[in-house]
Amino acid sequence: MGQGLLLTDMNRDFPPLPAAPAQAIAKSRLVLPLNAPGMRIGLFGGTFDPPHAAHRAACLLAMKRLGLDRVWWLVTPGNPLKDTHGLAPLAARVVAARRLAHHPRIDVTDLEAQIGTRYTYETVKYLVRRCSQVHFVWIMGADNLRSFHRWQRWRGIARFVPIAVVDRLGPSLYASASAAGQALAYARVPETAAKTLPERTPPAWIYLHGLKSPLSSTALRAARALQRK
């Protein structure tokens, strides 16, 4: 697949976005973060329970290397692959994420709860169709690339948006050798071409080196639980 086409070219093959179901939030009430045709926007999803400095650092690294205009933090109601028992309330996690992000070009949103999507594939499909002139990029840590093949319709995600994988301490040694990393090896873009990623036709992904943070929400939650005992 050619790498020079714009993301908007891909959208011509898709039917129009169907009307939202009755139980979904009314269109008049849905407010998307700032976007406009031609903008390059990173999508960074997670439970953010709790948000931490590595989340912010990864997004700032991606913003700089990829030439992104903005990054949206998509605070999910719950990760289908993880135990959500004891998960902090969504509203509290959104507030905490906004407090930590504290950046004029990082938008924190509970979009998935508003539109009623559970899986990343559904969220990305919704955004690509609704904002067809925006160049979205999915941002993930190297640890997520290791388990990416377990995500619902992960190949579909890769066909909808380019993906930026941000280096992390430890996972960088074997993330590229994961099932998804090997399956998508043909679509890997050299790091020297990072600025071109947002406007490439997916599947296209890149590995961004430079961030070596050992922080993780899972470890922080475990430490928090021990303190409560």
Task: Answer yes or no: is 134 within a domain.
Answer: yes
In one letter, which amino acid is 228?
A: R
Q: Mean pLDDT across the chain, nearest whole number?
A: 83
Task: Answer yes or no: is 106 within a domain.
Answer: yes
Burial zone of 15 (CB within 10 Å; 0-12 exposed, 13-18 middle, 19+ buried): exposed
Q: What is the pLDDT of residues 95-104, one digit of tens each?
A: 999 999 999 9
- Rounding to the nearest 10 degrees, give the CA dihedral for residues 75, 216, 181, 43: 20
Q: What is the mean pLDDT of residues 29-58?
A: 94
Confidence of residue 82 (pLDDT cuts 50, 70, 90): low
Percentage of residues in the chain having pLDDT higher than 70: 75
Confidence of residue 170 (pLDDT cuts 50, 70, 90): low
Task: Answer yes or no: is 4 within a domain.
Answer: no
The position carrying tokens 């990864």 is 58
Question: Is the predicted pLDDT of residue 141 greater than 50, yes or no?
Answer: yes
Number of domains in the chain: 1
Q: What is the mean pLDDT of residues 148-159?
A: 97
Task: Answer yes or no: is 30 within a domain.
Answer: no
Task: Answer yes or no: is 66 within a domain.
Answer: yes
Task: Answer yes or no: is 29 within a domain.
Answer: no
Confidence of residue 76 (pLDDT cuts 50, 70, 90): very high
Task: Answer yes or no: is 3 within a domain.
Answer: no
Question: Is the predicted pLDDT of residue 124 greater than 60, yes or no?
Answer: yes
Residue 30 has a pLDDT of: 86
Domain span at 166: 38-228
pTM value surpassing 0.75: yes
Q: What is the mean pLDDT of residues 3-7?
A: 36
Question: Is the predicted pLDDT of residue 44 greater than 90, yes or no?
Answer: yes
Q: What is the pLDDT of residues 15-42, one digit of tens each?
A: 444 444 444 444 447 889 999 999 999 9
Report the range out of 3-7, 79-83, 182-186 with the highest average pLDDT: 182-186
What is the C-alpha to C-alpha distance for residues 46 and 120, in angstroms, rounded to an integer? 10
Half-sphere exposure of 153 toward its Cβ, with a 13 Å CA cutoff?
A: 13
180-218 in b/e form (b: 16+ CB < 10 A) is bbeebeebbbeeeebebbbbbbbbbbbbbeebebeebbe
Question: Is the predicted pLDDT of residue 220 greater than 60, yes or no?
Answer: no
Lowest mean pLDDT among 48-52, 74-78, 225-229: 225-229
Enumerate the H helices of 70-205 as residue ranges: 90-101, 111-115, 120-130, 142-147, 154-160, 179-183
Task: Answer yes or no: is 131 within a domain.
Answer: yes
Please tell me which residue, 23 or 153, carries the higher pLDDT value: 153
Lowest mean pLDDT among 8-17, 77-86, 199-208: 8-17
End-to-end CA separation in angstroms for the chain: 54
- Chain-centroid distance, C-alpha 143: 13
Domain CATH code at residue 161: 3.40.50.620
